[in-house]
Amino acid sequence: MSYEIMKKNIERAQQEINGKKDKVKNGKMRQHYHFMAQTGWLNDPNGLIYFQGKYHFFYQYNPYHGFWEWMHWGHAVSEDMLHWEYLPLALAPSESYDDHLRGGCFSGSAVEMDGKLYLVFTAATNEGRGFEQTQCVAYSEDGIHFIKYDGNPVLTAPKGVAKDQFRDPKVWEHEGVYYLVCGASHGNRAQALLYRSKDLYHWEFFSVLAESRGEWGSMWECPDFYPLGEKYVLTFSPMGAGDHTAVYFTGDFDYNTGKFDCRVTGEIDWGLDFYAPQSFQAPDGRRIIVGWSNEWEWMPQWKDWGPTYKEGWCGFFNIPREVRMLSDGTLQFLPVREIRALRKDVWDRDELAVTEDGVALSAGDGICFELMMEIDLMETNAGRLELDLRCGNGRKTACVFDFENAELRVDRTNADGWSEGVSRSVMYLKGKKGLDVHVFSDQSSLEIFTDQYRNNHSNNVFAPSEQNLLSIRAYGGTAVIKDIMTCGLKDACHS
């Protein structure tokens, strides 16, 4: 009976999608090469996995409206992480533990066992005792149609953990045992709890993998844990930790004790729109992460849920990034190489001297483009360098390299008449001869990577297509730019 209820709810949601998708796809703010849902609201990436020869992206989804409510799991597949085929929804609310307007099938992950694809997800409901979050399992023979396990939920909040602060399970297998890391809040301090199982259904508590002592907020959303070389990486999005939206810890882990010894911490992205990243392993061994191009703590500043809400949708994913570790334990986050296949109209220049007079640049249509360059720090004597993107109608988004104050700022205050906020990060240049810069622009977003992809800013900008100019200007001297490459980026396919 429960399977029939979920099937009915999925069919109803699919009718809603089919009735709106043709209109929604023509929205003026729709992205051209970033992953989006067909209609409605999208947030966290879920269940990212390479399974049966294809990349599978699942995602938090409200197919009915362009705002958060009654969470489903959307599903799409791709052979290159660029061109996507939408599949039927994987999960819909259908049970007492997940069927609630302000709840549903929350975030989770996917894992393969015995040739089947399993989804482990947080169920959220309120049956009169306040909101409760539990961990549940669904499985599929074909990787498309899923059945919820009759014995759900398989995990409930342990003693001392708030029942509405226990979510986002990430599962992996190691030497025949399955492990699960889950976000929790204990005494208003964040924890990553570690469990283990032999069959995905019966779990035992193993350890507190890591926890905040007050400095990292009250709740860690969407924790992820994986090996990288000889070290291990813990990532999460902390709640109540100020400007931190997606952070990483690197260090050592012991499977005998379940303890993680953190040695290095850092930011995955300093931008206002990067949250809840989840990783998976590509068939060639690369560790890939994908983030939601938005952020909860910024949401109250939105007006009517943002410009895209008026077009019947909201939310997309950041560009997938490959994670690499340097010798000092810090991480790099490189846009996946597959995106190079979208390049067109490539323009190169060896060197450019920039003064306060400024220089106009050309990159594709000025909307969907890629820009790479290196600032020659040995030859530059300017106090700051400003790269202005998506300019026109008196508006712009300013990317400021402030050499005097060792700060990188991305200012969208005058970007589109609607967006707000300035993202900031330290720009550490001591002993460096050059600073690499890599920019990706799409219809509604800017992703800026610097310092070997360790200092990154992702910000949504809802500028109309008439804002398609870009320029660069130096203040207080001359800036020397080397190895400049710009190009347009073709549309990716969502079918």
Catalytic residues: 44
How far is Cα 371 from Cα 472, in angstroms, rounded to an integer? 12
Phi, psi dihedrals of residue 2, rounded to the nearest 5°: -60, -35
- The structure tokens listed for 265 are 């911490």
Burial class of residue 399 (count of CB atoms within 10 Å of its CB; 0-12, 13-18, 19+): buried
| Neighbouring C-beta atoms of residue 297, cutoff 10 Å | 17
410 DSSP β-pair partners:
399, 423
220 DSSP β-pair partners:
238
How far is Cα 384 from Cα 477, in angstroms, rounded to an integer? 8
Q: Which of 3, 13, 169 is nearest to 89 (CA)?
A: 13
How far is Cα 435 from Cα 257, in angstroms, rounded to an integer? 42
Could you write out the three-class secondary structure of 36-89?
ECCCEEEEEEEEEEEECCEEEEEEEEECCCCCCCCEEEEEEEECCCCCEEECCC
Question: Which helix (H) or strand (E) segment is 481 a member of?
Answer: strand 479-489
Residue 282 and residue 288 in contact, taking contact as beta carbons nearer than 8 Å: yes
How far is Cα 430 from Cα 420, in angstroms, rounded to an integer? 31
Residue 455 and residue 427 in contact, taking contact as beta carbons nearer than 8 Å: yes
| 163 to 153, 168, 200, 224: CA distances (angstroms) | 13, 13, 21, 21
Distance of CA 328 to the CA centre of its chain: 25
Residue 436 and residue 426 in contact, taking contact as beta carbons nearer than 8 Å: no
Q: Which of 116, 111, 67, 492 is nearest to 320 (CA)?
A: 492
Strand residue runs (E) in 63-174: 72-78, 84-86, 104-113, 116-126, 131-140, 147-148, 161-174
How far is Cα 307 from Cα 310, in angstroms, rounded to an integer? 6
Q: How, if at all, do strands 313-314 and 40-51 pair?
A: parallel
Residue 119 and residue 146 in contact, taking contact as beta carbons nearer than 8 Å: yes
Side chain identity, residue 16: E
Residue 170 and residue 184 in contact, taking contact as beta carbons nearer than 8 Å: no
Q: 398 in helix, strand or coil?
A: strand
446 DSSP β-pair partners:
441, 459
Task: Give residue for tokens 């599962």.
Answer: 171
